[in-house]
Amino acid sequence: MNRPWISARARGVSMLGILFICVAIVLVAVGALKVIPSYLEFRNIRAAAVAARDGGKTVVDIQKAFDRAAQINDITTLSGKDLDIAKDGAGNIVVSFKYEKKIPLFYNVSLIIEYAGGSDNP
């Protein structure tokens, strides 16, 4: 039986190639599943900083407002004392923060993410 549409040297992905691709996909998925909660916490911290800025006039009021929001949103990375509270050139209150999050991936391999944000930048 002659099949002219099939090359005599047909090529494809070997079983070892499929296994390698699957391992790579699993490693990326595990990394993503460990990083996503950290990023969601960063978003909650940023939202709490904006709410704290709007909820207080003094430094102590802003810190207390942030601590209340942190308690509600289960933010454990920062507290109100860790915030940088200042006024910009127009006299508006700006609440900013900066921190590092170490995420263990596997064995002795970790990922360090530096987060920075505040009430003035989305």
Domain ranges of the chain: 15-118
Q: What is the pTM of this model?
A: 0.78
How do residues 85-114 score in pLDDT, each as one tens digit? 888 888 788 999 999 999 998 889 899 999
Contact present, 101 and 112 (Cβ < 8 Å): yes
B/e letters for 34-65, b = 16+ CB within 10 Å, e = fewer, are eeeeeeebbebbbebbbbbbeebeeeeebbeb
